[in-house]
Amino acid sequence: MDTVSPDVRSRTMRAVKGKNTTLEMKFRQALWSAGVRGWRLHINSLPGKPDLVFSAARVVVFIDSCFWHGCPAHLRMPSSNLNYWEAKIARNRKRDKVVTKELKTQGWTVLRFWEHNIRENLEKCVFKVNRIVTKQVSR
């Protein structure tokens, strides 16, 4: 398994701390530029506290950190406390599944983007949200 130095790891973790990450703001700006409107942020009453909530369209969006959510392409385990991190990330992934299922049961369409999708294919992600939200609002 790949590992990273404690230095890289702490940088990674700092980067994903807190809800208003640069990446999330970049995504919101891109959505806005594309004419997407009507979202609210981090609604506490919803399972998993989705990053964006389009109430009218019944669409929720999550931006999943490659590290915390265990992206298969980019997960690099810290070299120390391996067991701890493996267990933690496994728990996060399990919780993501439960949250997604619960939201779907409540009638929400759940869109999950990996951090790397936003970084590498921002326009594609924006297009997808736009298409689904527009379709469901005009339903």
**Residues binding Zn ion (CB under 5 A):** 66, 71, 73-74, 114, 116
Q: Which amino acid is at 112?
A: R
**For residue 131, with 0-12 CB atoms within 10 Å meaning exposed, 13-18 middle and 19 or more buried, which class applies?**
exposed
CB of 137 to Zn ion, least distance (A): 30
Nearer to Zn ion, 66 or 110 (CB): 66
Closer residue to Zn ion (CB): 66 or 129: 66
Q: Which is nearer to Zn ion, 58 or 116 (CB)?
A: 116
Vertex 28: Cα angle to 103 and 18 (nearest 5): 70
SS3 81: coil
Closer residue to Zn ion, CB minimum distance, 3 or 134: 3
Cβ of residue 51: shortest distance to Zn ion, in angstroms? 16
Q: How far is the CB of 45 from Zn ion (least distance, A)?
A: 29
Secondary structure E strands in 5-106:
40-41, 52-54, 59-64, 77-78
- The answer to whether residues 46 and 53 touch, using CB atoms and an 8 Å cutoff, is yes
The minimum distance between CB 132 and Zn ion, in angstroms, equals: 22
